Structure 1
Amino acid sequence: MGLFQKSVEKKYVKELDANLIDVKYKAFQSYFGNSEIQDNIRNAKEEQFQEGFLRELFVSVLGYTLNPQPNFNLTTELKNIANSKKADGAILKESDAIGVIELKSTNTTDLDSIESQAFGYKNHHPKCVYVITSNFEKLRFYIQNAVDHIDFDLFNLTREQFSLMWICLAKDNLMNGLPLKIKESSVLQEENITKKLYSDYAAFREDVFRNLVSKNPQTDKLLLFNKTQKLLDRFLFIFFAEDRLLLPPNSISEIVKQWTALKEELDEYVPLYDRFKKYFGYMNTGYKGKKYEIYAYNGGLFAPDEVLDNIVVDDDILYKHTQKLSQYDFETDVDVNILGHIFEHSLSEIESVQAEIKGEKVDNQKTLPERQIGKRKKDGIFYTPEYITKYIVEHTIGKLCKEKRTELGIVDEVYGKGRKSQKKDTVKILDDKLNSYRNWLLNLSILDPACGSGAFLNQALDFLITEHHKIDNLRTQLLGGDIVFSDISTDILEKNIFGVDLNEESTEIAKLSLWLRTAQKGRKLNKLNNNIKCGNSLIDDPKVAHEKAFDWHKEFPNLFEEKNKKAWHITTATHNSRYSQRMFDNHVKWGKPVWLTEREEVIVTEVIFEIVEKDNLNILAYNICGDHIHILLVCEEEEVPSIVGKMKAMSSRACNIEMGRTIPGTTSDVTTRGHAPLSSKSGEIPVAPLSSESGKIPVAPLSSESGEIPVAPLSSESGKIPV
């Protein structure tokens, strides 16, 4: 839901005095929208601007009175009741703090990092309801707890966003408890919508299933029930997509309208389900007509299905229920969180229906909810509230991310200084650290072995998207320019998110929930069959779990395959070097050796380091020695030729460009291509695993022999290759 339910939020925004908002927004923009003032704020220290920030925003715009003015309701440095710690500011009502304010400079780009500190202050003031954190550029607003919040980008705030900030922070609104009232109304509204929508959704499923059983007696009941669920998933996605403008508006209603016209006006009857099947086909393959265009979202949800393509469904069933669901606004009234609740409620009912179809004994002395709870306990089906999944994600994945950022030396304040105040080499190192962190993020594997409807996986997805956006924000602060957030959700779904569940319908609903959260106009849905799978994640023995036995290594080979990695001592030499194996093997006449200059050695080292970082390679040690290079590389044997070839091609090309031998933007077979895999046949020095066994290639000592520049081993602590 976020902090407020969208339809409730819109209602209160609509009730605002438009003339008052115009005046206040103009006053706000004259200060916080001024580019020169923005630069001064970015250069100001935390202590220098704290009081100025409170005065310019809370006093001049939002209507508060700052201490020591008479009848003040805003103060700086409010001391905790139980200890000597102080919040940077507080909003007071009858001398009691109802809101605490924690401020940092713009160098603190991650407001998550001060969340616990701010709530620590709140907990010392019994009547405190609101928490505000800010780095002078961004402002975050909480009510009661840290589960949800609203972010405001003060330097780029639109009038619409200002209207919402006015509702949250204006003096009269806060003193009268309006934000809390809106939150409570939002919770109630979400509960009502969830109950009503689930009732309509469940009735749709029940009527379709009964109709399918009567119309398709030759088909297995359990299979028909599974296909009923898939059919509803298709309709839900379309309802969601048409209201989010991923599809032409009112697509379902238009299909029904056209079907009615064909039947009543043109006397050309076709079953309504045939019209829907045609649209499902468009969702799979795409369609471009004169009036509208449908993108081929596919993802597997709309792929051809032998059963769904051949069943019969009564017109009145589809007409009645699609018309009813069309009345919901899936943009404002129904968000992905409400659908998540519906999916979770749905699973228990699905289990009960499936049990009855299978002829399993049902205790009729118990109510349906009691039977469902019993079934859920038996099968291990439990549903985790959103605030719990958020807590788990933040204290598992979040902890890992924090440790990695520390390891790489990523400090917000350093990036906040920007490009101008730092050396060119330092800027590159800082940017490389962000690349390393992003690559590390994309190599995380997050698995829920009992994923249910995907609540935990969706929370993990949201967390990782936010983490990538933090990288984008830090890069913008470092390099300047407008922030552009990476479109990273498809990569995260493909590379990071994995789930298993005993219930097949659970896995289908989990996929749908992930699709709904990541769907974008004109972009194909991820195929999730290789990421979300059905099986018993605890048992791999078919004798025990039968068809649900789950072999982790077989189902997720990319995650669990055993890598045959070894440490390889790579020695590669320049042309005509005394170390060239080609010279010995082919008795080539000695020519003039190519010796790298110190500048070329630096270039080669920088290029190899860049490859190591981007490709996440494991290099134990590295030494460049004028006319040859030693590298200790850990990888699988078949990876060696491509890795070394890439290092040679890219480093030689970079040197040739630097020295004017190659024009940038062109290619040359001599300088950048034609690097064969390392072998004695190609004239290169052969590569062997590190080993002290006789007959193996000995490892040359990495020493400071004459003419060599010793290089320290790659280290994640230093974040670079020191030359």
Structure 2
Amino acid sequence: MSLFQNSVLNKYLKGLESEKVNQAYERFTSHFHNPTIQENIRNSKEEQYQGEFLIDLFVKVFGYIKNPTPDFNLTTELKNIKGSKKTDGAILKGEKALAVIELKGTNTTDLGKVETQAFGYKNNQPGCNYVITSNFEKLRFYIDNAVDFEEFNLFQLSKERFDILWLCLSSEYLLKDIPKKIKDESLTQEENVTKKLYKDYASFRNEIFDAIQKENPEYDKLTLFKKTQKLLDRFLFIFFAEDRLLLPPNSIRSIVNQWTDLRDKYDEYFPLYDRFKKYFGYMNTGHKGQQHDIFAYNGGLFAPDEILDNIKINDDLLYKHTVNLSNYDFESEVSVNILGHIFEHSLNDIDEIQAEIQGVASEQSKTKRKKDGVFYTPKYITKYIVDNTVGKLCEEKKTELYIQEVEYEKERKGRQKSTLKKLSQKLEDYRKWLLQITICDPACGSGAFLNQALEFLISEHQYIDELQAKLFGDAMVLSEVENAILENNIYGVDINEESVEIAKLSLWLRTAQKGRKLTSLNNNIKCGNSLIADPTFAGDKAFNWQNEFPEVFANGGFDVVIGNPPYVQHRKIFEYSNYFKTTYSVYTGTSDLSVYFFEKGFEILKSNKLLGYINTNKFFNTEYGKKLRDFLTTQNIDKILNFEQSSIFKDALVSSVILIASKESPDNDTTYIEFNKESIDAEKFQREITFRNRIINIDYLKNNSWLFENPIIQNLITKIQSKGSNLKETKGIKINRGLTTGYDDGFILDKEKYEKLILKDNKNNEIIKPLLKGKHIKRYFIEDSGLWLLNTHNGIKNILEAINVEKDYPTVYEYLLSKNIESKGKLEKRSDKGNHWSNLRNCAFLDEFEKEKVIWGLISGHWNFSLDTNNNYLTSASYFLTSSEIPNRFILGLLNSKLNKFYFENVGEMTAGGAYVLKKVSVEKFIIPKTSEIQQTNFCKKVKQIEKQTSSLETLQNNFISLLSSKFSLNKMSNKLIQWNYYDFSTFTKELDKVRKKTAKENETEYNKLSLSEEAEWMQYFNEQKQKAEELKAEIDKTDKEIDQMVYELYGLTEEEINIVEEATA
């Protein structure tokens, strides 16, 4: 929960003025530690004391000036910018709220219940960074978001904790925004430590693994790699434990130093690893030493391991890396959060190394976890999902047991023993229920969701302890429930063996206590294929849930299923399709893997209990998602958080959704939140869920696609769809994807390679074709790519014979052979190939490339369609359309229009970053309106006009760039120079100077500044060309508007509907 990284916090604590802080602490304790005052506060209502509380704490202790005193910086009842609601208090900087204060009476034990209200106030105060909540006894301090906070018990606050409270709340620190600075520095420090520690951690693993292979050839590589990882897990636990005083401090250093002394001073040598093995044994069984005792932590991590106990490890490497890692302070520097990121990084590397061991090409394995749709889930997401699943069940249970905090706050004196006993029994009943709740992540990875659930449950038990203490007037004693939670509440499955071991380690590190055995997690965290129970398909990873967790299913299943299941495309799970087809009702031939995790999640869930996933939202409007949509509408969907055009996961191409649902008949209403077009962080997430939530009717979800727009837009979409047929149903339309070569470096030629092959044999021209990538396709224009394709096709059945490259094009074959050797056989090994490795794979629509066609890129940040009349071939990142009935230009103009851009943004697919994903299945949804031949002819004339205008502008721009390049011999053009016509002459010349200087430096030539006469000459030429460019751009804009107007008329839009489209696409 901590806001700050310990080493950063300690730096600021050392800078405190001790005398000033000591005096403040005296003032603080004289009031808040006075037993009589404490009792009076407990007996006061919220309204009675909140004004005085602000004075007692913020004015008298922390030095604020309260309204109405002149120059005040503390006020009460501050009204929201919008609406009439008011926060109880606010700290002001100038006229703006820097912090909002929300106060409750001491009968509000759980300050977490105040978060939503308090952050609602914060989000209504622009520039507000801090949220302070208090029940007069406890105080919470938040910065930016509700994910982490510092909590202070004011009635029992030690001097050490007061120092931190002073850093957070004193006027001399908070008004200067110091707490936010400490947090920002903490995040930077955490990032730096994470990078450095992981570099050292990975170096340890890789070097030890290499050495172990050489010294232990009797074992296979994969086994040795797994043992290397286990060895690292052991060391990591020891480093963590010794710095947190679970073990004697510096125990690794002591072992290394003793070993060095015995070797160097006393000529007694034995392998360093033998000494570590002995220590591992102590960790397993315990040891009574002369200086220190070692507790038997066990848990399975240090249990005897036949291979680890018998391998040899190089002394020098082991010495070097253990000493290096022991330099980190795992108490102040390395948080559990940092370790979570280390573990996730580690899994990425583990997959890659294992793939290399098994002989998978490195290009394929490099980003395997990303390829398999595995991304580390941010804490604000795991917290939200756990709060709204586990948290929701807990709130329902407390309501059922009628646990009211106010009853536990009342003075004990005069209350009947039977009343106290009943109240105490309610807490015991709640604790008993808590220890029976079962929570599962079916794709647990490194354990992010399980750790969040663990943290939540520990907090709930502390809440029980607190109410129990208040009921009987005792000091609060925290129950040691961590092991019980791990044994009874937390379950996980992952297909990756290393993920399972790392998930266990992460849970151990979070719960380890001095002198307490680690819980064996073998019965709770298991390795297996969550989706497949049949060994025929999954081998030894086949996983039967009922057999693996019999005690859970004896009670009807899990209470909560949570997680971030992997998104894997259908073609990568083809081998399992027969199993999925016969096992899952949501199966379609093109379903991605996450679809099955939804069905499995509900299958293993108890009736009336909760599922919470973050996953791809692709099922909202895809054909393969229909069965899943239908399945989900039979459940009770509580919340949908749609990140349609917002990015949570760096590098993820698919957009995300959080879905919270219960396994019961659907309610009529669902909470829906859609996030803005921007990257999301914890603060933005908090703001959006406060302001952007709305209730939608379940009928929204019973349409063909899940559309969440307002009724006006939905009606407009329906109207567009009624005006004709979609492209899929339109006669004479064919949509195809570009070619997959299997190895682009072999089959795609640049200008130099192309010219060499033609020079060797002009006959090669017969099979060398001009080629475009998606990035070369602009709106109404195609860039010169300078690329060609070796079209060594595999023929078309009954139409065209496959090319015999070796016989008919020997110089091409010679070239491909050299590429095959250079790539160590990648051309020959590739899966996408024809009859012979020198042939491209089968392509039934090969002849379509030689036709006039509409072309576009698969993924694009811009709305670009163009017409190709030069028989260009396309790569697989592009699509094309040919039409035998309707003019291609007519279709081109429709696709490039604002109306169809608007239509696609509502029914199509977008990436997490807001780019268009223009697959065949999406483009087929476009509606072709019913039109006459005359309408089509007139429309095509306009399209041809804009093509000509666009070409003229591109030619003018390119000629200017070519002149610049040749005149000044520039190595590379900057973006500003390429877009020269969008800048004034002053900006242009500054950029030209910068690029010329860079070129001169790279070429080691002299740089000469333009003379005044040369600059004057360039100014005249620049301004002339810019004016021409602006005139052409104005003509293009005018024609574009005319085309849009024609499109609106073809679809019969009203003025009101046109305004909706124009505003949405502005």
Q: State the match for 1:483 in structure 2.
A: 476
> Which residue identity is paired with 1:194?
T
The separation in 2 between residues aligned to 1:456 and 1:278, in whole angstroms, is 35
Please state how far the C-alpha of 1:360 moved relative to its aligned partner. Answer: 2.0
Query: In the superposition, relative to structure 1, how do residues 214 and 432 fare at CA in structure 2: closer, same or farther (>3 Å)?
Result: same
* Cα offset, 1:377, TM superposition: 4.1
Question: In the alignment, residue 97 of structure 1 is paired with which amino acid?
Answer: A
Correspondence for 1:506 among 499, 507, 513: 499
- Aligned equivalent of 2:259: 259
Matches of 1:190 and 1:516, distance apart in 2: 18
CA distance in 2, matches of 1:338, 1:58: 34
Please say if 1:469 is aligned against 2:462.
yes
SS in 1 for 2:149: strand
SS in 2 for 1:363: helix
Task: Measure how far apart 1:84 and its partner are.
Answer: 1.1
Larger Rg: 2
Q: What residue number does 2:150 align with?
A: 150
Counterparts of 1:113-192 in structure 2 under 5 Å? 113-192=113-192
Preserved contact between residue 448 and residue 498 of structure 1 (Cα < 8 Å): yes
Secondary structure in structure 2 of the residue aligned to 1:139: strand
Structure 1 residue 275: Cα displacement: 0.6
Structure 1 residues 198 and 377 mapped into 2: Cα distance closer, same or farther (>3 Å)?
Answer: closer
Q: What RMSD, in angstroms, separates the aligned Cα atoms of the two structures?
A: 1.1
| 8 Å CA contact retained: 1:418, 1:479 | no
Distance 1:31 1:520 in 2: 35
Check if 1:452 corresponds to 2:431: no
The aligned residue for residue 518 of structure 1 is 511
The C-alpha deviation readout for 1:394-435, integer Å capped at 9, x for no partner, is 111001111111111111122111423543322221111111
Match of 2:58 in 1: 58
- Distance (whole Å) between structure 1 residues aligned to residue 554 and residue 57 of structure 2: 57
Deviations along 1:289-341, whole A, 9 cap, x unmatched?
Answer: 21111011111000000000000000011000011001100000001111111
| TM-fit CA distance, 1:67 | 0.6
In structure 2, the partner of 1:335 is: 335
SS of alignment partner, residue 400 of structure 1: helix
1:425 to 412, 418, 421: 418
TM-score (norm 2): 0.52
1:324 corresponding residue in structure 2: 324
Hey, what's the Cα distance between the residues in 1 that align with 2:50 and 2:126? 25
Aligned equivalents of 2:160, 2:304: Cα separation in 1: 43
* 1:214 partner SS: helix
> 1:524-580: per-residue Cα shift (whole Å, max 9, x none)?
1001111111000010010011111001111111112378xxxxxxxxxxxxxxxxx
**CA-to-partner distance for each residue in 1:49-70, whole Å, 9 max, x for gaps?**
0111000100001000111111
Whole-Å separation in 1 of the counterparts to 2:555 and 2:458: 29
Quote how far apart the aligned CAs of 1:378 are.
Answer: 4.4
The counterpart of 1:394, out of the listed 368, 387, 395, is 387
Q: What CA distance in whole angstroms lies between the structure 2 residues aligned with 1:442 and 1:464?
A: 9
For residues 507 and 460 of structure 1, the distance between their equivalents in structure 2, rounded to whole angstroms, comes to 17
**Identity in percent:** 64
> Residue by residue, what CA displacement relative to the aligned partner does 1:148-194 show, whole Å, maximum 9, x if unpaired?
10001101111111111110000111111100100000000000000
The one-letter code matched in structure 2 to 1:168 is C
Distance in 1, matches of 2:554 and 2:50, equals 54
Letter aligned with residue 515 of structure 2:
G
**Matching residue of 2:398:** 405
Deviations 1:676-707 (A, max 9, x none): xxxxxxxxxxxxxxxxxxxxxxxxxxxxxxxx
**Counterpart of 2:30?**
30
Name the counterpart of 1:350: 350
Distance 2:99 2:366 in 1: 43
Conserved in 2, the CA contact under 8 Å of 1:419 and 1:479?
yes
C-alpha distance in 2 between matches for 1:380 and 1:177:
39
| 1:541 aligned partner | 534
Determine the structure 1 residue equivalent to 2:228.
228
SS of match in other structure, 1:148: coil
SS at match of 1:440: helix
What is the aligned partner in structure 2 of residue 577 from structure 1? none
1:659-678 matches, cutoff 5 A? none
Q: Could you tell me which amino acid in structure 2 is paired with residue 310 of structure 1?
A: N
Following TM superposition, by how much is the alpha carbon of 1:498 offset from its aligned partner in structure 2, in angstroms? 0.6
| Paired position in structure 2 for 1:591 | none
Whether 1:556 aligns to 2:544 is: no
Tell me, in whole angstroms, the C-alpha distance in 2 between the residues paired with 1:34 and 1:417. Answer: 19
SS in 1 for 2:152: strand
Taking the TM superposition and a 5 Å limit, the aligned residue runs for 1:76-115 are 76-115=76-115
Paired letter, 2:513: Q
Give 2:204's aligned residue: 204
1:638-658 deviation digits (Å, cap 9, x = unpaired): xxxxxxxxxxxxxxxxxxxxx
Describe the SS at the equivalent of 1:465: helix
- Counterparts of 1:91 and 1:556 in 2: how far apart (Å)? 53
Name 1:15's counterpart in structure 2.
Answer: 15
- The residue type equivalent to 1:430 in the other structure is L
In the alignment, which residue of structure 1 is the partner of 2:311?
Answer: 311
Name the SS of the counterpart of 1:99 in structure 2. strand
1:238 counterpart residue number: 238
Q: Secondary structure at the match of 2:92?
A: strand
After TM superposition, the score normalised by the length of structure 1 is 0.76
CA distance in 2, matches of 1:329, 1:418: 46
Corresponding position of 1:439: 432
Give the SS at the match of 1:64: coil
Q: CA 1:338/1:461 → structure 2, altered by over 3 Å: closer, same or farther?
A: same
Q: How many residues align?
A: 556
What CA distance in whole angstroms lies between the structure 2 residues aligned with 1:127 and 1:67? 21
Give, in whole Å, the separation in 1 of the partners of 2:171 and 2:474. Answer: 35
- State how far apart, in whole Å, the 1-side matches of 2:154 and 2:414 are: 24
Question: In 2, Cα distance between the equivalents of 1:137 and 1:559?
Answer: 40
| Cα deviation 1:620-644 (Å, max 9, x = unaligned) | xxxxxxxxxxxxxxxxxxxxxxxxx
Following the alignment from structure 1 to structure 2, what is the Cα–Cα distance between the partners of residues 497 and 562? 15
Q: Which amino acid counterpart does residue 287 of structure 2 have in structure 1?
A: Y
Q: What amino acid maps onto 1:470 in structure 2?
A: Y
- Cα displacement (A) at 1:95: 1.4
Partner AA of 1:488 in structure 2? V
Alignment of 1:627-646 (within 5 A): none
Secondary structure of 1:44's partner? Answer: coil
1:487, distance to aligned residue in structure 2 (A): 0.6
Distance 1:108 1:421 in 2: 22
AA aligned to 1:513 is S
**CA–CA distance in structure 2, aligned partners of residues 479 and 502 of structure 1:** 49
Give the whole-Å Cα distance in 1 for the aligned partners of 2:415 and 2:121.
35
1:372 is displaced (CA, Å) by 3.7
Structure 2 spans left out of the alignment, 5+ residues: 557-1066
Of structures 1 and 2, the one with the larger relative CO (CA 8 A, separation 6+) is 1
Match of 1:69 in 2: 69
| 8 Å CA contact retained: 1:449, 1:499 | yes
1:94 and 1:50 mapped to 2: Cα distance? 23
Q: Note if contact 1:109-1:412 (Cα within 8 Å) is conserved in structure 2.
A: yes
CA distance in 1 between partners of 2:39 and 2:405 (Å): 18
Q: Which residue in the other structure is 1:713 paired with? A: none
Check conservation: 1:80, 1:87, Cα contact below 8 A.
yes
For residues 461 and 506 of structure 1, what CA distance do their matches in structure 2 show?
18
Moved more, 413-422 or 392-401: 413-422
| Distance in 2 between residues matched to 1:337 and 1:421, nearest whole Å | 48
What runs of 5+ residues in structure 1 fail to find an aligned partner? 365-370, 564-723
Q: Which residue of 2 aligns with 1:213?
A: 213
2:521 is aligned to 528
